[in-house]
Amino acid sequence: MTNLSWLKWAITRHFRSQGLQVRMRSIRLGNVAIDGEVEGRGWKMALELKTPQDDITRGIGQLAEALAYGYNQVALVTTLRSAKKIDPTVFDKLGLILLGVDSKGNVQQVFPSYTSLMTEGFS
C-alpha cells in the first residue's frame, strides 16, 4: 500500500537533487489546497500527490485551480503503476504534467512523454 509520506519523500528528493527549492506542505488556493510546490528561477510548479486509493479527478481539479492562481506549471504525482493507467487526454488539453514514482522511489515523467514532445515540438 502506497503511503502519502513516501510519495512526499520521493518527490522532494527528486527535485532537491536538481537544485530546486521544494515546499511540501498544504498550500491554500481559494477553495482547494495543494500538497506542495517546487520553485526554480522565475517559475513555480504546484504539486498534488495522490495514492492509488485517492480520487485522481479531484486532484486534476485542484491543479486547474493552481493554474488559475498563477502557477507556471502543475504536476500530479502518483505511483508509476497508477500513472500508466491514467488517460493522458486531460493532461494534454490542460497542459498538466503527470509524474509517477516507482517502487524504488525514482520519479519518472509519464506525460508529456519525451516522444510526445518530439512529435509536437518544444513550445
Per-residue pLDDT tens digits for 21-56: 999 999 999 889 999 999 999 899 999 999 999 999
| HEC assignment per residue over 33-47 | EECEEEEECCEEEEE
Task: Return the pLDDT at 80.
Answer: 93
Higher-confidence residue of 122 and 33: namely 33
Q: Where are the domains of the chain?
A: 4-120
pTM summary value:
0.87
Q: Is the dihedral of CA 83, 84, 89, 93 positive or negative?
A: positive
pLDDT of 76 above 60: yes
Tens of pLDDT along 1-29?
Answer: 568 899 999 999 999 999 999 999 999 99
Kindly tell me if the per-residue pLDDT of 95 is higher than 90: no
Q: Are 94 and 116 in contact (CB under 8 A)?
A: no
Name the most confidently modeled range: 2-6, 80-84, 118-122: 80-84
d(CA 106, CA 100): 8
Q: What is the pLDDT of residue 112?
A: 86
Domain at 4-120: CATH architecture: 3-Layer(aba) Sandwich (3.40)
Burial of 36 (0-12, 13-18, 19+ CB in 10 A): buried
**pLDDT grade, residue 66 (50/70/90)?**
very high
